[in-house]
Amino acid sequence: MALAQPPAAPESAKAATPGVSGTPAAKFYQPRAQAPGLPRPPQIRGAAVLLVDVQSGETLAALDPEQRLYPASLTKLMTAILAAERLALDDIVTVTAEAAAVGETSLALKAGQRISVRDLLCGAVMKSANDAAAALACHMSGSQAQFATLMNARAAQMGLRDTHFVNPHGLHSSEHYSTAADLALIARWFLHYPALRKICAQEQTKLTSLPSGQPQQVQNQNRLLKRWKECIGLKTGYTRQAGNCIAAAARRDGWELLCIVLNSRDVWNDSRSLIEWGYKNFCPVTPAAELRGECQVPVRGGVEPFLAARPGPTAAVVLPRGSDDWKLEVHAQEQTAPVASGTTVGYLSVSVSGRPVQRVPLLATEAMPVKPRLWSVAGGVWWNVLLVLGVILLYAAAAKNLGARRARLPAGGRAVDCPGPSLVERPSGYRPRYTGGPGTQRRARRRATRPSAHQLPLPAIQQAPRVPDRQAR
């Protein structure tokens, strides 16, 4: 879709007559401060600007941040992000004919050359070389068109609603656009990678993987690096249709601010004056340091009724300088066990003069497991399985113990107690005697009730009739 010309500023914000077509409609614009009662931000010559805190993304000043404009070479920030996510700095890229044919600002790459990813990133970010960005794109996706699809998918993941890419370098196309708000989020992602931070902060470097016949020394196009010691990058851009653009970042006392300026006649003064205004009128506050102790968050079904939570150690809130009536309010949200450490369990509201200005997430500082319960459907499948396994193990242990006891007895035997003194009166060395098994005892009882052989009456002896003795002869 073709973009409309930048909108004219309100009459109160104009300081000159409207400009010609293709340039900002007024010579100066007045950004709006996001906090009431502050001095007005300095007037600028950009059509759209946004000043944010790098860490939290809090907006400090803005002018038409949602207006779709051409981003020019700020597009290369997204190209560098995808390269940092998918490639190693030492990887070697073979330059394709498509990449070598990209014109305007370039490294004069030739098809077939093998260049390191680091050198291509330095060329794309520092010198804004279009062929370097195209070489990275073709290496990752096969062509610039396919890489644009990848860029748009990544933009959707970031939550960008007003950004559409058609190439990896930012040369003009009516379908290639973004906004100051979206570019600020892309720039914050860019600063998330230490390798990219280091590259964009260099004033110059040497591309060692380039052939010796080509210029290897590269100068950074960001003039703020030389003019302003607090500047840490990031990227400049220009096309005739987009005008001059910049994503500038600075660090002062460990606090980083980012400024996006689009279609400006003086990007250097616009960006620096806005960042200086931000440092003068705002200050960061760390809730973790201001909050005494830890918050207690209720938990249902846990081993403890509460768990401890605190805001992240690096979470910061940007407040107007001199704000004495600000306060922190804890909003804990009841959780259901289990809860993992680091889970968001609520938020911390920061308000100034009773007006909420920002929320900071509360993170659990410890894990909270589920409280064990007996057999029940509500107890959970795993607890029921553990209970059944416990019963099985106890039964197996008892059966094993009984089997071992029986193995110590004679075959078919069992231990019986002998009649005698009670257990209390028995001596310490007393042991029961062992007899035969049940069959042996039954046979013994039958024998005991049956008279033995010597107890039976003798049978009557029948004597033969006495034969008279023969007479002696």
Q: What is the per-residue pLDDT across 33-68, written as a single tens digit (0 to 9) for each? A: 877 778 899 999 999 999 999 988 889 999 999 999
Residues in Cβ contact with 72 at an 8 Å cutoff, skipping those fewer than 6 apart: 170, 172, 237, 238, 239, 242, 243, 245
Hey, is 379 helix, strand or coil? coil
Q: For residues 135 and 87, give the distance between their C-alpha atoms in angstroms, rounded to a whole number.
A: 13
287-364 has which CATH code? 2.60.410.10
Per-residue confidence at 437, pLDDT binned at 50, 70, 90? Answer: low
Reading the block at residue 393, the tokens are 């193990």
Q: For residues 253 and 283, give the distance between their C-alpha atoms in angstroms, rounded to a whole number.
A: 11
Out of 111-125, 260-274, 353-367, 423-437, least confident range: 423-437
Q: For residues 133 and 170, give the distance between their C-alpha atoms in angstroms, rounded to a whole number.
A: 10
Query: Domain map of the chain by residue range?
Result: 11-282, 287-364
Assess whether pLDDT exceeds 90 at residue 128.
Answer: yes
Select the CATH number that applies to the domain covering 11-282 from these four: 3.40.710.10, 3.10.20.30, 3.40.50.300, 1.10.3720.10. Answer: 3.40.710.10
Reading the block at residue 108, the tokens are 């004069």
Per-residue confidence at 227, pLDDT binned at 50, 70, 90? Answer: very high
Given phi > 0 = left and psi -120 to 50 = alpha, else beta, which region is 393? alpha
Assess whether pLDDT exceeds 70 at residue 346.
Answer: yes
Is the Cβ–Cβ distance between 95 and 112 less than 8 Å? yes
Which pLDDT does position 292 carry in this prediction?
A: 65
Maximum distance among all Cα pairs of the chain, rounded to whole angstroms: 191
Could you tell me which residues are beta bridge partners of residue 51? 61, 259
Residues in Cβ contact with 80 at an 8 Å cutoff, skipping those fewer than 6 apart: 121, 124, 125, 190, 196, 199
Reading the block at residue 311, the tokens are 């805001």
Question: What tens digit of pLDDT does each residue of 306-321 get?
Answer: 888 877 766 677 888 8
Burial string for 346-364 (b: 16+ CB within 10 Å, else e) reads bbbbbebeeeebbebebbb
Is the Cβ–Cβ distance between 246 and 267 less than 8 Å? yes
Which pLDDT does position 23 carry in this prediction?
A: 43
Q: Which of 65, 85, 58 is nearest to 192 (CA)?
A: 85
**DSSP conformation class of 271:** H
pTM comes to 0.69
Span 381-410, average pLDDT: 75
Hey, is 466 helix, strand or coil? coil
Q: Which of 167, 5, 141 is nearest to 74 (CA)?
A: 167
Per-residue confidence at 420, pLDDT binned at 50, 70, 90? Answer: very low
How high is the mean pLDDT of the chain?
A: 81
The phi, psi pair for 213, rounded to 5°, reads: -75, -10
Assess whether pLDDT exceeds 80 at residue 459.
Answer: no
Reading the block at residue 62, the tokens are 């803005």
Question: Which helix (DSSP H) or strand (DSSP E) does residue 146 occupy?
Answer: helix 144-158
Which pLDDT does position 453 carry in this prediction?
A: 56
Q: Which of 35, 34, 18 is nearest to 26 (CA)?
A: 18
Residues in Cβ contact with 463 at an 8 Å cutoff, skipping those fewer than 6 apart: none
Which pLDDT does position 120 carry in this prediction?
A: 95
Assess whether pLDDT exceeds 50 at residue 303.
Answer: yes
Between the CA of residue 358 and those of 57, 316, 318, 319, 326, what are the distances in Å? 11, 10, 9, 9, 11
Span 16-25, average pLDDT: 36
Assess whether pLDDT exceeds 60 at residue 258.
Answer: yes
Which pLDDT does position 67 carry in this prediction?
A: 94
Which pLDDT does position 65 carry in this prediction?
A: 94
Helices (H) and strands (E) in the chain, counts: 12, 20
Which pLDDT does position 314 carry in this prediction?
A: 61
Please report where in the chains the tokens 């390191």 appear, as a residue.
116
Per-residue confidence at 2, pLDDT binned at 50, 70, 90? Answer: very low
Q: Which of 260, 266, 103, 96 is nearest to 169 (CA)?
A: 103
Span 165-192, average pLDDT: 95
- The reply to whether omega before 338 is within 30° of 0 (cis) is yes
Which pLDDT does position 334 carry in this prediction?
A: 85
Q: Which of 277, 259, 279, 255 is nearest to 268 (CA)?
A: 259
Residue 469 identity: D
Q: Kindly write down the DSSP assignment for every residue of 100-119, as one continuous string.
A: HT--SS-----TT-EEEHHH
Reading the block at residue 240, the tokens are 């005739």
Assess whether pLDDT exceeds 50 at residue 15.
Answer: no
Which pLDDT does position 274 carry in this prediction?
A: 96
